Structure 1
Amino acid sequence: MSNDPPGFELPLRLFLGFRTLIDALHVELARQGHPDMRPLHGFVMQAVGVDGTTAVELGRTLGVSKQAAGKTIETLERLGYVERARDPRDTRRKIVRLTPHGLDALARSARIFDELRAGWAATLGEDRLRALEADLRRVTPQDAFRLDVPGWFG
């Protein structure tokens, strides 16, 4: 009889770790003035980036339809995180770009993630956390920052 945990526990624990970090992030973001931010919004805002994007490109990056991307853009626009504007390179195209409020949310998110990582380091020890991060890098693709999670879950 093996003392190894069942194979299904590994993905569930990895997801639970992700969920724990994301939930803590959003509690702190709400406290810092971004109560309407949702996990999906972070993926979308990262995909919009500092240069902006179109709804079609956004949908492709997120792995969702143009319509789904458009609905999320509408929500983020209503909340003040993005705005639509004419593309200065091609006035027939509309681009979505981050507003100062959106840029503030991303900057705060980065700082909060650093604080959350520091909390894990305090709990596990810096050496163990670095080893965990190194091990995860070894078993995951190098293009680790894929933004198509919304489409993948759909």
Structure 2
Amino acid sequence: MSSQPNAPHEPPGFELPLRLLLGFRVLVDDLHAELARQGHPQVRPMHGFVLQAIGPDGTTAAELGRRLGVSKQAAGKTVDTLERLGYVRRGTDPQDGRRKVVRLTDRGVDCLALSARVFEELRAGWARTLGPERLRELESDLRKVTPAEFFPLDVPGWFGG
């Protein structure tokens, strides 16, 4: 008996990317529900990408846009929101007074640290549901089919087209 790509026991090919995206969505939605409970109710998924892209040393709006795969203006608009919420601050680059640098505030650093802890808790929940060994196998399998380098932060721009 030959195996057909869409045999009755096999899911259609389009289901795989949708299930992977849905798994990502479940984790991110659960993260944001917990962030809201712990004092960060206005943080949105895009904000996490931005805070990560700013990093510990800060960055300019132009560089932030490049890292995120969005325009400098789009990055600046998100920085405006995060600044209003107290997660980032703009300042002058001490090396070059003409450059404006965006840096994380203590609240921004706290949000990233809390996110890391919550992701650990969410992973533990998946381990309880799937079993620790099966989760490790799933993660190992995903590493086999994805690039080895760290996850790119340009997902917002990639989704935006």
TM-score tier (shorter): over 0.9
Post-superposition offset of 1:89: 1.1
Match of 2:33 among 23, 27, 31: 27
Aligned equivalents of 1:73, 1:85: Cα separation in 2:
12
Q: Runs in 1 of length 4+ with deviation above 6 angstroms?
A: none
Match of 1:97 among 103, 112, 116: 103
Amino acid at match of 1:41: H
Aligned equivalents of 1:115, 1:132: Cα separation in 2:
17
Aligned equivalents of 1:6, 1:89: Cα separation in 2:
55
2:53 matches 1:47: yes
TM-score, length basis structure 2? 0.94
Amino acid at match of 1:107: A
Name 1:71's counterpart in structure 2: 77
Post-superposition offset of 1:91: 1.0
Post-superposition offset of 1:64: 0.2
What whole-Å deviation, never above 9, does each CA across 1:75-101 have from its counterpart, x for those lacking one?
Answer: 000000000010111111010000000
SS at match of 2:90: strand
- Tell me how large the CA RMSD over aligned residues is: 0.7
Aligned equivalents of 2:142, 2:33: Cα separation in 1:
26
Within a 5 Å distance, the mapping from 1:106-145 to structure 2 comes to 106-145=112-151
Task: Count the aligned residue pairs.
Answer: 154
Structure 1, unpaired ranges of 5+: none
Aligned equivalents of 2:73, 2:102: Cα separation in 1:
14
TM-score, length basis structure 1? 0.98
The structure with more radius of gyration:
2
Paired-residue identity, %: 73
Amino acid at match of 1:26: H
Structure 2, unpaired ranges of 5+: none
